[in-house]
Amino acid sequence: MEKRKTLVLGIASGTALTVAIVFAVAFVFQNFSETSAVDKPICLPDQQIESAVPFPVAKPAWVPAGYSLQCEKISPYQVIMLYSAKPMTSTDFSAAISKDAAIAVVVVNDETLGGQNTNLMTPQQRLNDTTRLLTPELKEKMQFRYITVNGHPGWAREAGDYGTLTTQYGNGTVISTEQTQEPARVQFYLETTEYVITGFRPADELIKVAESIPTIN
């Protein structure tokens, strides 16, 4: 009988776009587990990124000591910047995303979807929509808090074991449920874009990364 695994992260959203943002980091991790970042063609030269997408992208001016930009990946409505304290290779990637040697990922999302989304909510409305389903108990476990980043609304959470991985048969019978470690996360909202900074680092440090990003809109 077919088995299925469902990963439920410690944040919910009312929009499909925000759900896609939540899973973006896992997608990058999967790509890097196959081939080193040096060899993987998804990593573009630094000078190509800003001209490769039609929406504004800014890089952080500050990252944790010893960290450097290892890879940049683009899709039509998203840019992902991957920072690490050591070169990304297939042999040490699993260690790099563990709590002891974490990477930092900066994701920039074009909320206009290339101009297709003509009814874009305000930054505050998008923040409210992203976090509206969080219960007080989950917020406490996440050490969730609302923040502002250079005047822009956002939120932060600490790393923790509040994700749930459920394995079940195709008929819905649950085989097992286990807690999963989720990285710390900072997200803030601009008029047409939003930034996500995530990694197994203290949330205050990720906020510092966020505050060093020169906001464009």
29-88 per-position pLDDT tens digit: 333 333 333 333 357 766 667 678 888 899 999 999 999 988 888 888 999 888 888 777
Mean pLDDT of 124-128: 96
Mean pLDDT of 191-216: 93
What is the full DSSP assignment across 68-116?
EEEEEEEETTEEEEEEESS---TTTHHHHTSTTS--EEEEEEETTTTTT
Q: Which helix (H) or strand (E) holds 131?
A: helix 123-131
Binned at pLDDT 50, 70 and 90, residue 5 comes out as: very low
| Sign of the four-CA dihedral 109, 113, 115, 117 | negative
Give the pLDDT of residue 102.
67
Give the pLDDT of residue 27.
34
**Mean pLDDT, all residues of the chain:** 76
CA distances from 58 to 119, 123, 130, 189 (A): 24, 18, 23, 14
Contact of 197 with 210, CB cutoff 8 Å? yes
- Residue 117's SS3 state is coil
Rounded Cα–Cα distance for residues 217 and 201 (Å):
27
Query: Which residues have a Cβ under 8 Å from the Cβ of 28 and sit 6 or more positions away?
Result: 73, 80, 82, 105
